Amino acid sequence: MRGIDEVIEFLHEFAEAECRANCASYAEPDDRKLVRLVGAWNPMFADDPDGNPPELYARPEHIAATARQKPRSIFAVARYQHGRAGLYRGWMGDTELGPWGEGICQNLYVSREQGQLKVAARYEVCSNCLGAGTLPDGQGCPACDGARWFHCGGTQWHVPGRILEIRKLQAPTDPRYQRAYDAIGEP
């Protein structure tokens, strides 16, 4: 199995590992167990545990936050022509539902490194245009200058290459993100 199907499976595994690590960071008083859970996630995407003291995890707000956590949804995946290597982009949801449902929150760029899929970059959605690049009145977004996303880690790609293949899996349930979902695949 290669290509978009393999990347979709990887992104599902990544989202599950991220969710387990997030839940543990909220509610796991056993630091060794937290380190093991985050350690299972690190080979996919490097992120260190935050080092909070164990008594912090017993607080009611941490337990409530854990109950709200869920793996991110995958809304779409695209394959780009990027040199000789394959580069994929996943449009992901959030780890918690918002008041109107789930919106598009994150872009993960995935590439193959030494035979393994890895998250090579992470981008967060522009909170002003919600990833559409324009405001509802059609004007360009002044916050992101139409870029739709802000780089948050890993390799920075301004133009990752030409889209060779795109697969939309599901639309966000938060209607405010429909314009961004419709814009997936546009330059």
- DSSP structure string for 46-75: --------GGGGGSHHHHHHHHH--PPPEE
Q: What is the pLDDT of residue 48?
A: 37
Q: How far apart are CA 130 and CA 174, in angstroms?
A: 11
Q: How confident is the model at residue 33 (pLDDT cuts 50, 70, 90)?
A: low
Q: What is the pLDDT of residue 53?
A: 46
Whether 46 and 40 have beta carbons less than 8 Å apart is answered as: no
Inform me whether the pLDDT recorded for 8 exceeds 90: yes
Q: Hey, which residues does 87 pair with through a beta bridge? A: 80, 111
> What is the rounded end-to-end Cα distance, in angstroms, of the chain?
28
Q: How confident is the model at residue 25 (pLDDT cuts 50, 70, 90)?
A: low
Q: Hey, which residues does 80 pair with through a beta bridge? A: 87, 163
Per-residue model confidence as pLDDT tens digits over 47-97: 334 444 444 445 555 555 555 678 899 999 999 887 667 899 999 998 877
Whether 70 and 102 have beta carbons less than 8 Å apart is answered as: no
To the nearest whole percent, how much of the chain has pLDDT over 90?
Answer: 33
Q: How many CA atoms lie within 13 A of 74 on its CB side?
A: 24
Q: How far apart are CA 27 and CA 33, in angstroms?
A: 11
Q: How many CB atoms lie within 10 A of CB 116?
A: 10
To the nearest whole percent, how much of the chain has pLDDT over 70?
Answer: 72
Inform me whether the pLDDT recorded for 17 exceeds 80: yes
Per-residue model confidence as pLDDT tens digits over 96-134: 777 788 999 999 999 888 888 999 899 999 999 988 888
Pairing of strands 85-92, 116-125: unpaired
Distance of alpha carbon 97 from its chain centroid, rounded? 14
Q: What is the pLDDT of residue 26?
A: 59
Q: What is the pLDDT of residue 45?
A: 45
